[in-house]
């Protein structure tokens, strides 16, 4: 409730701004919104469904992963951490 009162007061104050000042403020707000939306999106690299790593990559892997490790969940977690 207090937030709405604050926003209404702010809007009333903005009425005294010139058109150029309002446009400048709007541009700044849109810029911030775009930046926040970019941060929210997770972009994963495309890996073909039938992708098989080459022998050199497979040789770097010591052994199979334990069954209890959810590989897909770990990959999602890894990419989320990289986007921060």
81 to 15, 41, 53, 74: CA distances (angstroms): 42, 12, 23, 11
Residue 64 counted as domain residue: no
Extract the tokens encoding 72.
């897909």
Dihedral sign from CA coordinates of 60, 62, 63, 68: negative
Asked if residues 22 and 10 have their Cβ atoms less than 8 Å apart, the reply is no
Residue 23 counted as domain residue: yes
> What are the pLDDT tens digits along the chain (84 aa)?
588 889 899 989 999 999 999 999 999 999 999 888 877 777 777 888 888 888 888 778 767 777 788 888 888 888 888 887
Q: What is the pLDDT of residue 1?
A: 59
Match 């495309």 to its residue by tokens: 46
**How many angstroms separate the most distant Cα atoms in the chain?**
69
Q: What is the pLDDT of residue 62?
A: 66
Residue 77 counted as domain residue: no
Extract the tokens encoding 17.
């701004």
Number of domains in the chain: 1
Residue 28 is part of which domain span? 2-40
């Amino acid at each position: 409730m207090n937030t709405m009162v604050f926003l209404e007061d702010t809007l009333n104050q903005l009425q005294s701004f010139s058109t150029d000042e309002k446009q400048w403020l709007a541009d700044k707000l849109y810029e911030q919104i775009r930046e926040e939306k970019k941060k929210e999106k997770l972009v994963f690299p495309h890996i073909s469904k039938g992708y098989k790593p080459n022998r050199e990559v497979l040789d770097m892997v010591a052994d199979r992963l334990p069954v209890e490790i959810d590989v897909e969940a770990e990959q999602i977690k890894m990419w989320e951490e990289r986007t921060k």
